[in-house]
Amino acid sequence: MLRFDEVGLAFRGGDGVRDLSFDVDSGEIVALVGLNGAGKTTLMRLALGMLRADSGTVQVLGRPLDDLPVAAWSAVGALIEVPLAYPELTARENLRIACQLRGADPAAVPSALDAWLLSPVADRRFLRLSLGTRQRVGLAAAMQHDPRLIVLDEPGNALDPASVILLREQLLRRAGEGAAVLVSSHHLDEVARIADRVILMNRGRLIGELDTAGADLERMFFDRIRVDDERREAVLR
């Protein structure tokens, strides 16, 4: 459903990502973890065609990005950084527009409102909602049309504990129905509960997978980052 093959992108000033190779299959949840600035959001934007790679290839739904028909994007759901919504419109109106933009049936909106516990605020303008409720609107918009590929960048941002559990249940259900899920997060314990694989990213590169069966995930995470940093410094000497 999603494949990166030796993908690289350099930004002005030297930052960017290099040698990104991984895939996400149908029915699989893959979590991407790393420190702030590791390149997680850049990778997500590359997956969605929001950025174009300098090298390598990105395939979405089995086809290279450059060869992907516009209509195929209706099978993708995404939330990158912050929800995209019209602030003066209500939660319900924003979900209806999101359906229309993806060619989906707006009849899905009531179910999405119920699923994300948004019915009590459905007719409240987006700008009047709390940050956590805005995030739930963004998540509902990303998934209400039953996408085959779901790409979420830090979806737990601003969510209260009950909403985090709701997000977890939604992702597990979607994967169980065959969707491929790529999610970035800095909440190691949370992604370890649901992810089939946890991939580590550091300073623009993927550095392997994290064994979620370990007793101290945070220590393992920081140890892997430290070892990678030391290795890179040794190469530069």
Provide, rounded to the nearest whole percent, the portion of the chain with pLDDT above 90: 89
**Residue 142 domain flag:** yes
**Residue 16 domain flag:** no
Q: Does residue 209 surpass a pLDDT of 90?
A: yes
User: For the segment 9-62, what is each residue's pLDDT rounded down to a tens digit?
Assistant: 999 877 899 999 999 999 999 999 999 999 999 999 999 999 999 999 999 999
Mean pLDDT value across residues 208-213: 90
**Residue 13 domain flag:** no
Considering the entire predicted model, what is its pTM? 0.96
**88-93, long-range: CB < 8 A, 24+ apart:** 88/125, 88/126, 88/127, 89/125, 89/126, 90/122, 90/123, 90/124, 90/125, 90/126, 91/118, 91/121, 91/122, 91/123, 91/124, 91/126, 91/129, 91/133, 91/137, 92/122, 92/123
User: For the segment 142-189, what is each residue's pLDDT rounded down to a tens digit?
Assistant: 999 999 999 999 999 999 999 999 999 999 999 999 999 999 998 888
**Residue 149 domain flag:** yes
**Residue 93 domain flag:** yes
**Residue 10 domain flag:** no
**Residue 14 domain flag:** no
Number of domains in the chain: 1
Report the distance separating Cα 20 and Cα 5, nearest Å.
6
**Residue 6 domain flag:** no
* Residue-range definition of the domain harbouring residue 148: 21-218+227-236
CA distances from 40 to 80, 171, 203, 216 (A): 10, 19, 10, 23
Q: Does residue 237 surpass a pLDDT of 80?
A: no
Domain of residue 82, CATH code = 3.40.50.300
